[in-house]
Amino acid sequence: MPKIQLLEPLVISKIAAGEVIERPVSVVKELIENAIDAEATEISITIIEGGKDLIEIRDNGKGIAANELPLSIKRHSTSKIESEADLARINTMGFRGEALYSIASVCRFTIISRRAEEEIATKLKVSGDVDNISISEDILAVSGTIIRVKDLFFNFIVRRKFLKKSYIEQGYIYDIVAQYAVAHPEISFVFKADDKELIHTIRSTDYLLPIRKVFGSELVQGLLNLGVVGRDKISIMGYISKPGNHKRNRKFQFFYLNGRSIFSNILQEALEEGYGEYLMKGEFPCAFVFLDIDPEEFDVNIHPQKREVLFYDEKMLRTAVHGAVNHCLKTSDLVPQLTRSSIKKRQSQLNLSKIDSRPSRSPIKASQVQLDSKSLPSEIEFSNQPLMHRKFSDVIKKAETLDLIGADLKYRGPLGKEFILLEDVTTHDLVVLDFHAAHERVNLERLINLHKLGKVSIQTLLQPFELTKRSVDEQLIPQLSNLGFDIRVPKKQDEIIEIHGIPKILAKTDIETFFELLSSKIDTSLFQDEITKILSVIACHTSYRSGDQLSFRQTQELLSRLAKTENPNICAHGRPTYFRITHQEMLKQARRI
């Protein structure tokens, strides 16, 4: 067995550098954070070949004094903390004093810096060995700092060998620059790659400006403002996506802690839990969430690249973020609106990306609606009411009324198997009602209220219905019992359960089909508790189905009941109950304007 020995200083420096500097983006991140700590208002990043050949970062910050420049590249040299006690109150991006040391150890490194009170700048050069430096004085340069990193990992061949293709490394750098540009609108960021400018933000106090610059206007138009929410020692502000503007992954979720971009499973979970039923399964909201927390309430010194943070009170944080998101959604107008850009993007498929700007707290209000009977077929029959086989023409004797979004509407009849069309006679907009989604919302809230009042009616079965235990999660049996299911487990049959009673609302439902649906839906995390999950399945299973033909009277009753719900805009699964196609957009599509 080889004997134990101390490593040479050069080997130690490379090992230490490898912990902090994984790839070009690590260099960019550390140097941007240094520039922010230096109170820069302008930061310029230039790279060649994905940062493998060159990374140059310029800032107009305070700079480094000439006599301190040699010390700046020594390990654990820093101006940001002085004692152990300071680790409990870290207010800067960096603090360990490892960044410049680690970077200079694995590249051909140059730093030029000048403080405002100094007349000339100083240049320091290193080629992989931080103990062998070259210093030049009397350099003409503006106040601030310029750092050039050439031939990254030229002396660390194993690490350089595993770098990805230049365009991939460039993508990583783009992402980190974008994150800090969004977090610090007070700083102007310029990012160039191979002489092409990719990001250029202008100093501002508005967080939406860099978001729009980096991610585009379409994403910004689909965001809701969280406002500023204060809770205990936490302040939260930011923007989250409106329902209908979500993504298929979490790539557009950004969290910032006191100006630092961080990754946190806790924050991701709190964000998505805050959406609750506004979020469909397989969807992930976009978010730019800015947290301002007392430094004593978290520890950023747990990860070499400071990517993760330890929060001392995770419950308080989760509750604060969850509450801010949920309150924002419940107090916002979420009526989807079809736009021209969405038509082009999805080739005439409905994209519910823009929100109609109507009063936020009461999007559905009583209003007078006239029936245009000439536009309706006279042979439409009632459905879901087997004892009422009357014609529509037998019911309508005069103009009727509908209640929806504070507008005068005309009933225009069904569209396909899923929708009912209404015309806003004031604006000539087209309002499209998804009657299954609307009915599901009505049924869900009715069931929730009945359950809270303990008034769920039970229908006793004449003959018990048998199911295998695999059909029902045993953990759900207590909740199912609370909702009116009489479920028993025979003593001599370990693999069988018997259903002796069901909620009366399911009296006409195929029980086996219902439990199959329950087992496929109950694993979703869209709801706050198992009871609501089960009720949502019941609501879905007992609502109007695609292909049902609703009469005017049924539509009128449905909309009247929908208007009385707490959350009329979405169904139990997060789909919109109705949306609006503006007359203006129809004119544009017809090229009349």
Higher pLDDT pick, 400 / 5? 5
DSSP result, 296-310? GGEE-TTSTT--B-E
* Same domain membership, residue 233 and residue 152: no
- Asked whether residue 119 carries a pLDDT value surpassing 80, the answer given is yes
* Same domain membership, residue 270 and residue 159: no
- Asked whether residue 445 carries a pLDDT value surpassing 80, the answer given is yes
* Same domain membership, residue 16 and residue 147: yes
Please, are residues 43 and 187 in contact by the beta-carbon 8 Å criterion? Answer: yes
Q: Is residue 324 in some structural domain?
A: yes
pLDDT single digits (tens) 275-325: 887 888 788 999 999 999 888 887 776 665 566 788 888 888 898 999 999
* Same domain membership, residue 243 and residue 157: no
pLDDT at 11: 61
Give the pLDDT band (50/70/90) at residue 23: very high
pLDDT at 193: 96
* Same domain membership, residue 168 and residue 52: yes
What is the count of structural domains for the chain?
Answer: 2
Q: Is residue 430 in some structural domain?
A: no
User: Bridge-partner residues for 576, per DSSP?
Assistant: 570
Higher pLDDT pick, 527 / 389? 527
pLDDT at 454: 63
Q: Is residue 88 in some structural domain?
A: yes
H helices of 386-434, in order, are 392-395
* Of the residues 330, 359, 392, the one at which a domain ends: 330
* Of the residues 330, 354, 389, the one at which a domain ends: 330
- Asked whether residue 370 carries a pLDDT value surpassing 50, the answer given is no
DSSP result, 165-229? -HHHHHHHHHHHHHHHHHH-TTSEEEEEETTEEEEE----S-THHHHHHHH-HHHHHTEEEEEEE
Give the pLDDT band (50/70/90) at residue 380: very low
Q: Kindly report the average pLDDT of the chain as a whole number.
A: 77
Average of per-residue pLDDT across 175-183: 95
- Asked whether residue 415 carries a pLDDT value surpassing 50, the answer given is yes
Question: Is 11 exposed, middle or buried (CB count within 10 Å of its CB: 0-12, 13-18, 19+)?
Answer: exposed
* Same domain membership, residue 155 and residue 227: no
Higher pLDDT pick, 362 / 89? 89
- Asked whether residue 394 carries a pLDDT value surpassing 90, the answer given is no
* Of the residues 200, 231, 260, the one at which a domain ends: 200
Q: What is the maximum span of the chain, computed from C-alpha positions, in angstroms?
A: 101
pLDDT single digits (tens) 447-473: 777 766 666 677 777 777 777 766 666
pLDDT at 353: 33
- Asked whether residue 199 carries a pLDDT value surpassing 90, the answer given is yes
* Same domain membership, residue 223 and residue 196: no
* Same domain membership, residue 231 and residue 187: no
Average of per-residue pLDDT across 483-497: 73
**Residue 284 lies in domain:** 216-330
* Same domain membership, residue 255 and residue 163: no
* Same domain membership, residue 241 and residue 138: no
Average of per-residue pLDDT across 515-523: 59
- Asked whether residue 525 carries a pLDDT value surpassing 70, the answer given is no
- Asked whether residue 378 carries a pLDDT value surpassing 90, the answer given is no
Average of per-residue pLDDT across 71-81: 69
Average of per-residue pLDDT across 7-27: 71
Q: Is residue 520 in some structural domain?
A: no
Please, are residues 224 and 242 in contact by the beta-carbon 8 Å criterion? Answer: yes
Average of per-residue pLDDT across 224-230: 87
Give the pLDDT band (50/70/90) at residue 56: very high
Q: Is residue 244 in some structural domain?
A: yes
C-alpha distances (whole Å) from 556 to each of 403, 441, 459, 505, 553 are 7, 15, 29, 22, 5
Q: Is residue 148 in some structural domain?
A: yes
Among 574, 560, 117, 585, smallest CA distance to 366 is for: 560
Task: List phi, psi (to 5°) of 343.
Answer: -65, -45
This model's pTM is above 0.85: no
Domain CATH for 228: 3.30.230.10
Rounded CA gap, 101 and 12, in Å? 12
Beta-sheet strands, E only, within 60-205:
108-114, 121-127, 133-139, 144-150, 188-193, 196-200
Domain CATH for 85: 3.30.565.10
Taking the CA of residue 46 as centre, how many other CA atoms within 13 Å lie in the half-sphere pointing to its CB?
12
Q: Is residue 134 in some structural domain?
A: yes
The fraction of the chain above a pLDDT of 70, given in percent, is 70
* Same domain membership, residue 46 and residue 145: yes
Instruction: Please give the structure tokens belonging to residue 423.
Output: 């015309």
Q: Is residue 146 in some structural domain?
A: yes
pLDDT single digits (tens) 89-108: 556 665 555 788 889 989 99
* Same domain membership, residue 145 and residue 110: yes
